[in-house]
Amino acid sequence: MLKNDLLTAATVADHLNTRWFGRSIEILDNTASTSSYLRSKAAEQGAELPEGYVVAALSQSGGRGRQSRTFSSPSGGLYFSLLLKPGTMAGDTTIITALAAVAVCRAVEELCGIKTSIKWVNDIYIGDKKLCGILTEGSIEGETRRLDNAVLWIGVNVNSALRDFPPEISDTVTTLREHTGNVIPRGKLLAMILNNFERLYDGLNNPSVISEAMGEYRHRMFILGREIEVISPAGNYFAVAVDVDDRGRLKVRTADGNTVTLDSGEVRVRRTPT
């Protein structure tokens, strides 16, 4: 571990000003996935495991992003999962992911002074390179369709060396250390993300709070007004990203002039052929 980069319960607590997020925390040297680990723990302990419980790992051997894709998780990154019990409708996982993205952007800018942006729905970028991935997975109550438990996973490339990433993605990702030239204290960064996210999460059922937060999310989106490729199970298609509503859904204008609203899925910026 790099000097000044001690990730322990104590280094997180030193900078934490939450009421419950991160007040119970478990830090592992390595695990396949903090998300899988926390979901199993929540299934075993049920209501005994408090909302806000955090599992972090120094590295992951089986990190997973959207569409079950591998998320490379070398040593030096910040990988953690947070247990939530929102009791909201199932579709609100998109809002939770959007609020988490805003929280990460705020924390990175507060700690490192680096401008960040968001690619819908769950990726944080510095310039044209990916810094962070976010994934929210929920357990849905059958009759009411409300979220019983949700696990929010966040992976940030902090102090990893670019050579530690697979060659096929090493030119598309970036790290905070690469941009600052400094070792970033992961315990402090984790605390700052939790501080920011809890304030946003507390307003999950407050329309004015959500509207303001989603306005910031919209402002940070770098794909609006640009031509994108929508990755869809029914087939990919090109469209222009038009707007994001207060539920975190992306509105796109297709080639035939119709407006389509996406509440899940994946997009990528269309590159002009050279």
Q: Domain of residue 90: give its range.
A: 9-220
- Residue 77's pLDDT is 92
Residues 240 and 153 in one domain: no
CB atoms inside a 10 Å sphere around CB 44: 9
pLDDT of residue 67: 47
200 to 50, 96, 208, 249, 250: CA distances (angstroms): 19, 9, 11, 18, 20
- How many domains does one find in the chain? 2
| 154 and 63 within one domain | yes
Q: Is 216 in the same domain as 105?
A: yes
Asked if residue 245 and residue 184 are part of one domain, the reply reads no
Q: Would you write out the chain's pLDDT as a tens digit for each of its 274 residues? A: 555 678 999 999 999 999 999 999 999 998 989 999 999 999 999 889 999 999 999 888 765 545 445 566 788 999 999 999 987 766 688 899 999 999 999 999 999 999 999 999 889 999 999 999 999 988 766 555 677 789 999 999 999 988 888 888 888 999 999 999 999 999 999 999 999 999 999 998 899 999 999 999 999 999 999 999 999 888 899 999 999 998 899 999 999 999 999 987 889 887 654 3
Residue 84 counted as domain residue: yes
pTM flag (> 0.85):
yes
